[in-house]
Amino acid sequence: MKCALCGSEIPEDAKFCPKCGETVDEEDSTGFMIVTTPTVPGYRITKVFGVVTGLTPRTRGILGKFVAGFESMFGGEVTAFTSELEKARLDAIRRVRSKALNLGANAVVGLDLETSDLGLQLGVVVISATGTAVVIEKE
């Protein structure tokens, strides 16, 4: 079985994805799909519900900012922010999926992820996920 969120292989008896921590849900066995493409090969769109979005603003606490500042002195990846951005991305996608499910969709097509800084000099980053909630059927 694969994680609906990150695509990692999940052991049969697992309650959570070992990579991203997503809850393994019986609902996921229905094959809810999220794709960045406008269509899904082998499927046809039978109903369009419209745009669904998921936003998640994130910042690091004072300790995280200290570690990031220390890491930035040496160059390279700032790992203090990497995990926070990954969590924000997964949260935004999870919110898109939840909104689509509430509409009655079984897929989201055209998923677009964007990152922006609120510009308040507070270190707040917003991850935005936007897609189209649809019902798809095998051709």
Going residue by residue through the chain (139 aa), what tens digit of pLDDT does each one get? Answer: 777 666 778 787 777 777 766 666 544 445 799 999 999 999 999 999 999 999 988 775 555 555 555 555 566 666 667 777 888 888 999 999 999 999 999 999 999 999 888 766 666 788 999 999 999 999 9
Determine the pLDDT at residue 100. Answer: 97
Q: Do residues 84 and 139 make contact, with C-beta atoms less than 8 angstroms apart?
A: no
Determine the pLDDT at residue 114. Answer: 94
CA 102 to chain centre: 17
Give the position of tokens 């707040």: 124
Determine the pLDDT at residue 57. Answer: 84
Determine the pLDDT at residue 44. Answer: 96
Alpha-carbon span 139 to 129, nearest angstrom:
28
Q: What is the pTM of this model?
A: 0.70
Alpha-carbon span 133 to 109, nearest angstrom:
7
Helix (H, G, I), strand (E, B) or coil at 47: strand
Give the position of tokens 């899904």: 40
